[in-house]
Chains A and B, each alone.
Chain A
């Protein structure tokens, strides 16, 4: 069993839809949780990070962490075609002090 599980998709939604992306994990030592966006042939770009359980909002993006269930989510409101990319969850024992463990990534396509 992988430490971080993520549905690879693809997920196809119409423009304007609310998108929900999720990851589960098994290591209770994880304290920092991140979401990266990766366009084709590019490196991952940090979208959101949260510490421990709770919610964090940034524009159209909301990240949620439920440590009791070992479950994290990223919501994208009013999705746009430019949001089409692969979304990777990642986690670590400490922000920027340790290696990141990534999920496999979920490929999202937003069609006009």
Chain B
């Protein structure tokens, strides 16, 4: 197993465009988390899934953000009508209940 995989590693987009990121968790992990990290700050929780069910969403996740985890495997995070304030590192993590998080290397989004 190669760990948590995130694609793309870096995305540059124009303001107003939609972007989608993908996360492939460790295969046997049932929980999947999305965090956002801006420069000089710690990661901030966005949302998490247990299997295919989205169990919690942060207030940071505005209506322009949507996350899915079809069939409880990979997950996608979509941002519609991107704004410059969306520029950040988007981190995905997965876990098997009780075993602790493993983070991916993140997708760095730059909105110009």
Q: Which residue of B lies closest to A32 (CB)?
A: B100
A101: which B residues are within 8 A, CB to CB?
A: 45
Q: How far is the CA of A44 from the CA of B26 in the complex (A)?
A: 16
Q: Are B56 and A96 in contact (CB under 8 A)?
A: no
| Total contacting residues, chain B, CB less than 8 A | 27
| Total contacting residues, chain A, CB less than 8 A | 24
Q: Which residue of A lies closest to B58 (CB)?
A: A99
Does chain B have a CB within 8 A of A19? no
Does chain A have a CB within 8 A of B22? no
Q: Are A96 and B100 in contact (CB under 8 A)?
A: yes
Most buried by A among B40, B43, B104, B108: B43
Q: Are B103 and A99 in contact (CB under 8 A)?
A: no
Q: How far is the CA of A112 from the CA of B59 in the complex (A)?
A: 44
Does chain B have a CB within 8 A of A45? yes
Q: Are B91 and A103 in contact (CB under 8 A)?
A: no
Which of A6, A41, A43, A97 makes the CB contact (< 8 A) with B104?
Answer: A43
Does chain A have a CB within 8 A of B102? yes
Which of A41, A96, A102 makes the CB contact (< 8 A) with B98?
Answer: A96
Q: Which residue of A lies closest to B47 (CB)?
A: A99
Q: Are B48 and A43 in contact (CB under 8 A)?
A: no
Q: Which residue of A lies closest to B10 (CB)?
A: A41
Q: How far is the CA of A100 from the CA of B104 in the complex (A)?
A: 16
Q: Are A43 and B33 in contact (CB under 8 A)?
A: no
Q: Which residue of B lies closest to A6 (CB)?
A: B42
Q: Which residue of B lies closest to A107 (CB)?
A: B40
Which of B41, B44, B100, B103 makes the CB contact (< 8 A) with A43?
Answer: B103
Across the A-B interface, give the 3 residue pairs with the lowest CB-CB distance, nearest first: A102-B42, A43-B103, A99-B45
Taking A99-B33, A99-B58, A102-B43 as given, write out 19 further A-B residue pairs in contact, using a Cβ cutoff of 8 Å, ordered by the A residue number.
Answer: A4-B42, A6-B42, A34-B100, A36-B103, A43-B104, A43-B106, A44-B43, A44-B91, A49-B100, A88-B43, A90-B42, A96-B31, A96-B95, A97-B98, A99-B48, A99-B56, A100-B101, A102-B42, A104-B41
Q: Which residues of B contact A (CB under 8 A)?
A: 4, 31, 33, 35, 40-45, 48, 56, 58, 91, 93, 95, 97-106, 108
